[in-house]
Structure 1
Amino acid sequence: MSTQTQKVAVITGASQGIGAGLVVAYRKLGYAVVATSRSIAASQDPEILTIQGDIADRATAERIIAAGLERFGRIDTLVNNAGIFISNAFTDFSRNEYDAVLGVNLTGFFRITQLAIQQMLTQGGGHVIQITSTLADRANSHVNSALAALTKGGLQSATRALAIEYATRGIRSNAIALGTIKTPMTEGYWDVLAGLHPVGRLGEVSDVVDAAIYLENAPFVTGEILHVDGGQIAGH
């Protein structure tokens, strides 16, 4: 079981792909982990608490943080990894698509981050990481990405705002802006998507994990948008 000195990470969207990789990485760092997604399975590791739920639902965020505190007693890091990407012509986005993307990407981020930071303040410090997209910084004519830009760009702005608001209170806020990563969500399109990256290949889950662990171990870094995108931010 966790002790009051063992650090604890909360990771959303943790059932597969990047989120599952982050769970493994934080356990290797010695953290206990609260892992959540809509369909996540129970873990045999007593230091991993899994919680099913829709992060867009305010009650889910409250349940995640409450359960994490009950089990482990503290929250040191929150990784806002859960996200939805839908590519569509701007005028063709439906109300349901709009609601789904904003619900997970922004509403889901907002409440769980509020609760996590409230707890971090009582502990004297903590770290929040947002997983965003280079499409928020640099549009690509091959990818219709207005909703991604709206939501992930909002996360990046909030990342910097939180970094400044809490800079003197021991809480850091950073983001990782991604290109396309080879995960089950992108399977079937890997060859096409690889061509969007100047390096000519997709990113691996390990590339994202390495970025997160760097930020976790970099106490002088806050307000950073770290691009892990195969060179997309530099140009096309």
Structure 2
Amino acid sequence: MARAAIPGGLSARRAWRPARLLERRVETASASTLVLEVADWPGHLPGQHVDLRLTADDGYTATRSYSLSAPAEGDRVEVTVQRVPDGEVSTFLCDDLQLGDAALLRGPVGGWFVWRPEQPGPVLLVAGGSGVVPLMAMLRARPADGPPFRLVYSVRQPDDVIYRAELDALGRAEGVDVRYVFTRRGAGEDDGDERPPGRLRAADLDAAGWGPADAPTCYVCGPTGFVEAAATILAAAGHDPARIRTERFGPSGS
């Protein structure tokens, strides 16, 4: 089966484009989604990311990479930013960037950690913390009659779940299974989940219809330690390493 091309030519993806903030949505106490209007946006695939550059009045510039959190929609681009303690850029984007303010955006970037609607077979998504962002773009791009999806999402506690209301609704849809793993405390009184708190375990990824024999494409995203642990669990269970795609950031787990 022929693959869809990565949107935009190489020179187009390397070009900086003016972007303007249209909307900011608060997702959790530390995460916000920015909806940007980007001039002549070439489009993107779920799982890709962009570079965002801010320039201060004195000429100082700062550039950071952020995963795209929604499918392409004309010149509208969405990124979800997790505020980093003492992080100058993430704090500014979450708290101070005003509607109508300008920035520069480059991309889309990445061609391996992407999901294409024409891909055959089931899809297993494994997220740690804000690693859910590119996986959410995949979930949002899945058509109603698309292949089965399963998301296993590991966070410290229920209040840290990004996109909670939308994920709960998606989990009730035909062909989509959403499972939360809380590492610091169980869902308890909030969710009635009897799983004791703790890091991701093999049992969290073991479910009927999602084993190696079903040949799902596995996408794992999150902090480096989390991604390494999850990929090891999948490989040990017998999943084909060629079907385990990873994207990581930072030095520690969730």
TM bracket, shorter-chain basis = 0.3 to 0.5
TM-score of the superposition, structure 1-length normalised?
Answer: 0.35
Structure ranking higher in strand proportion:
2
TM-score of the superposition, structure 2-length normalised?
Answer: 0.32
Larger Rg: 2
